[in-house]
C-alpha cells in the first residue's frame, strides 16, 4: 500500500478511535473531533481519495447519510417518546460519508447496529445486569462501520461497491 493510502487510513483510524473512546466514556461525540473528521475527509477527497471517492460522491454521502440518519433519529425519538439517538451520531455518519460516499451507508448502519447490540450483550454479561433500558453508545459501532468500508475500499473487497461503475 502506498504512503498516501496508509496516511489516509491512519488519520481516519486515529480520529474514529478517539471519537469512539470518548463516546464510550461520556456518551458524547465532541464537535471538534467531528469537524476534524469532516475536514480531513474533504482534504482527502480534494487531493485524491485512495478509494476513488469523488467530491460529488463525498458531498452526496455527507448529505444523504446525514439526512437519512436525521430522519431515523426523528422517527425513533417520536416512537419512543424520548431522545433515541444523539445528534453526534448523525454528524458522525454525515462526516463518514465524506470518506466513503453514500453507497457505504447500509454497511455503516449494519455495523453500527450489530456492534452496538453485541457491546450491550457483552456489558450485560460482564455486569450481570441487562443494559437494554439504559444508554448504549452507537458511535463506536458507526465508527467501526466507516473504517471497515474505507479499508474494504482500499483492499478492493469485490462485494462492497463504494463507487458506481462508470464514475
How does pLDDT run across 106-155, given as a tens digit for each residue? Answer: 999 999 889 988 887 887 788 777 665 667 788 999 999 999 999 999 99
Residue 165, domain member (yes or no):
no
CA distance 144 to 73: 19
Residue 162 lies in a domain: no
CB neighbours of 13 closer than 8 A, spacing ≥ 6? Answer: 147
What pLDDT shows up at residue 93? 97
Percent of the chain with pLDDT over 90: 72
pLDDT at res. 127: 76
Q: In whole angstroms, give the CA distance from residue 143 to residue 94.
A: 11
Number of structural domains, the chain?
1
In a domain, 161, yes or no: no
Residue the block writes with cell 439526512: 67
Q: Is 160 within a domain?
A: no
In a domain, residue 164? The reply is no
Cα–Cα distances (Å) from 95 to 3, 59, 74, in that order, read 23, 10, 19
User: Residue 162: is its pLDDT beyond 70?
Assistant: yes
pLDDT in tens, 24-83: 889 899 999 999 999 999 999 999 999 999 999 999 999 999 999 999 989 988 888 887
* Structural domain span for residue 94: 3-154
| Domain assignment of residue 69, yes or no | yes
pTM over 0.85: yes
Closest CA relative to residue 90, chosen from 45, 25, 31: 31
Check residue 129 and give its pLDDT: 73
Amino acid at each position: 500500500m502506498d504512503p498516501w493510502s496508509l496516511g489516509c487510513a491512519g488519520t481516519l483510524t486515529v480520529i474514529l478511535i478517539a471519537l469512539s473512546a470518548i463516546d464510550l466514556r461520556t456518551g458524547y461525540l465532541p464537535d471538534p473531533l467531528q469537524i476534524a473528521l469532516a475536514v480531513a475527509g474533504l482534504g482527502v477527497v480534494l487531493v485524491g481519495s485512495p478509494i476513488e471517492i469523488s467530491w460529488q460522491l463525498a458531498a452526496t454521502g455527507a448529505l444523504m447519510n446525514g439526512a437519512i440518519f436525521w430522519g431515523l433519529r426523528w422517527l425513533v425519538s417520536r416512537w419512543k417518546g424520548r431522545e433515541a439517538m444523539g445528534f453526534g451520531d448523525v454528524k458522525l455518519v454525515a462526516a463518514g460519508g465524506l470518506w466513503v460516499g453514500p453507497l457505504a451507508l447500509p454497511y455503516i448502519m449494519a455495523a453500527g447496529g450489530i456492534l452496538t447490540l453485541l457491546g450491550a450483550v457483552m456489558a450485560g454479561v460482564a455486569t450481570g445486569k441487562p443494559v437494554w433500558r439504559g444508554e448504549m453508545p452507537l458511535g463506536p459501532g458507526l465508527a467501526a462501520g466507516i473504517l471497515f468500508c474505507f479499508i474494504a475500499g482500499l483492499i478492493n473487497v469485490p462485494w462492497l461497491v463504494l463507487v458506481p461503475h462508470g464514475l
